[in-house]
A = this chain, B = another copy of it.
Amino acid sequence: MTSPEKNASPRRRRIPTAAVNRLPVYLQILTDLQLQETTQVSSDQLAALANVNAAKVRKDLSYLGTYGTRGVGYEVAFLIYQIKRELGLLTEWKTIVIGAGNLGAAITVNGGFASRGFPVVAIFDVDPRKIGARVGDLTVRNLDEMTDFVGNNGVHIGVLAVPSTAAQSVADDLIAAGIGSLLNFAPIVLTTPKGVAVRNVDLGVELQILGYHEQMRGQSSSQHNPVSV
């Protein structure tokens, strides 16, 4: 670009999936650095902290635009802002949790969620013994109210902390109500229409993959297999 074009709406480049998945990790590290009053960081340093290749860091950051200074590095605060902008974290995304069991409560209360721009605005359950109970600042609502709530409050993200048997049906209701993204903790593959983003977090799957690596460790006792998965 030779002349500084006026972009009323900033150009939206599509960033490779693999890079998008790493941006939150950089963001986390940069936020830590900022807490420690570090103001500048090089791709080498960032790479060491994130356990990746420095070239990868530079390439990932280059998708955000050209925000480093040759010979110097990157300004931490500015990079944090740019990553947030790119990931859409300058806005808050209203989130609801479905399922007020152990996991649902842990998520709602532990609340790394709110502090990262994802306020949990409601929690739902079907169990009459749970409806009305307090979970953190919230009162557990009846699942019957969920569809209306999503519509009336412009909820963006639904977190499924329900048994596998209920997950698909709850997901269908959420999607019908207009929700755009699902974070699913139930160990099933959800069927969803295109345009709805789903991320599955199956703790059993995570463990099984670790099981594989444990087995590999045991097998080739002479040859230890370095794995950072």
Residues of A within 8 A of B (CB): 12, 17, 20-21, 23-25, 27-29, 32, 49-51, 86-89, 91, 93, 95, 101-103, 105-107, 109-110, 112-113, 116-118, 156-157, 180-183, 187-189, 191-192, 194-199, 201-220, 224-229
Per the bound structure, the CA–CA distance linking A191 and B19 in Å amounts to 21
Which of the residues B181, B192, B207 comes within 8 Å of A210, measured between beta carbons?
B181
Q: Across the interface, which residues of B come within 8 angstroms of A214, CB to CB?
A: 88, 93, 156-157, 180-181, 197
Q: Across the interface, which residues of B come within 8 angstroms of A210, CB to CB?
A: 93, 157, 181-183, 197, 199
Per the bound structure, the CA–CA distance linking A49 and B201 in Å amounts to 17
Q: CB distance B103 to A181 under 8 Å?
A: no
Q: Across the interface, which residues of B come within 8 angstroms of A226, CB to CB?
A: 194-195
Distance (whole angstroms) from the CB of A212 to the closest CB of chain B: 5
Q: CB distance A211 to B87 under 8 Å?
A: yes
User: Which residue, A189, A207, A224, has most C-beta atoms of chain B within 10 A?
Assistant: A207
Given contacts A28-B187, A187-B28, A220-B12, contact A91 B215 (CB under 8 A): yes
Q: CB distance B109 to A217 under 8 Å?
A: no
Per the bound structure, the CA–CA distance linking A39 and B101 in Å amounts to 34
Q: CB distance B194 to A224 under 8 Å?
A: yes
Q: CB distance B89 to A180 under 8 Å?
A: no
